[in-house]
Amino acid sequence: MFNSALRAPILAALAALAACRAAPPAHPALWQIEGPHGEKAWLFGTVHALPERLEWRQGKVAEALQASDLLVLEVARIEEAPRVFAALSQSPGLPPLRERTSPALRPALDRALRESGLDPAALDGLETWAAALTIEQALASKAGIESENGIERELVATYRRPVDQLEGAPAQLSIFDRLAEEDQRVLLDSVLRESSRPDDTGVVRAWARGDMAPIEAETTRGFLADPDLRAALLTGRNRAWADRLGGMVRQGKHPFVAVGAGHMAGPEGLPALMAAQGWRVTRLQ
């Protein structure tokens, strides 16, 4: 559930310094969808938050963005998310978060709260899924991984044609809100287990070089190893998105579709699902 562009220097005197600090290049995976009557679309896997800005708007990606007439994201109106989160995330009479955490992971909860600086009393009022996401985001921010460096914010800020969304913040966060409490606790436990692992930027490096194998592996571990969570948060959404994208393309639109890279991976990812619908799907990068 992981974004602003690095602003170009405005003084010529800083040009040399800016060149020294140029964002490293990245070549993430990109697919093209084609149909028999000139239909065309592009699938681009994103990283919602990055430790630094990378230069990914080049080559085939730049060409695809220029050729498209619609940008499609998971959530286009990102500014709505905090309000929707606040409305969905709280319920009266919840047990303390510590009681909703597996006993073996309570030390990890204590450590995560210390490291993130989060107020335990504030988390006690959050539903379990919301507490899990709050802890995850706080720890990522502390590690320097910020949504301000992610892809979606830059796309929204720079794309000059219509923008659409596959879910929007209300629908996306409602998926978490509808999870059974048992599944919410699996999510919380998974976040806490991950919090004790050494920081690993391997997935970001894989994304930057277009290597989908490590990304596919990530879609089978952690909370996505749980069948119910995998169906709710990954595969079910992929199928719904593929159906909607197929409709867009048949209507004559040429969308550039940018969603989390995990949604592109493997036999249940969007490229495979679109191919199964009969579209010609080609990996461009």
pLDDT score at 234: 96
DSSP state of 198: P
**Across the strands, what pairs with 20?**
none
Radius of gyration of the chain (CA): 20
The whole-angstrom separation of Cα 268 and Cα 285 is 20
What residues form DSSP beta bridges with 146? 50
Q: Residue 79 and residue 264: Cα distance in Å, rounded?
A: 25
What pLDDT is stored for residue 140 in this prediction? 83
Q: Around Cβ 3, how many Cβ atoms within 10 Å?
A: 22
Dist. CA 127–CA 258, nearest whole Å: 29
Can you say whether the dihedral through the CA atoms of 163, 267, 240, 253 is positive or negative? positive
| pLDDT tens track, the chain, 285 positions | 333 333 333 223 323 333 445 678 899 999 999 999 999 999 999 988 777 778 899 999 999 999 999 999 999 988 899 999 999 999 999 999 999 999 999 999 999 999 999 999 999 999 999 999 999 989 888 877 766 667 888 899 899 999 999 999 999 999 999 999 999 999 999 999 988 664 556 888 899 999 999 999 999 988 999 999 999 999 999 999 999 999 999 999 999 999 999 999 999 999 999 999 999 999 999
Ranges of each domain in the chain: 25-283
CB–CB of 155/2 below 8 Å? Answer: no
Amino acid 200: pLDDT: 53
DSSP 64: H
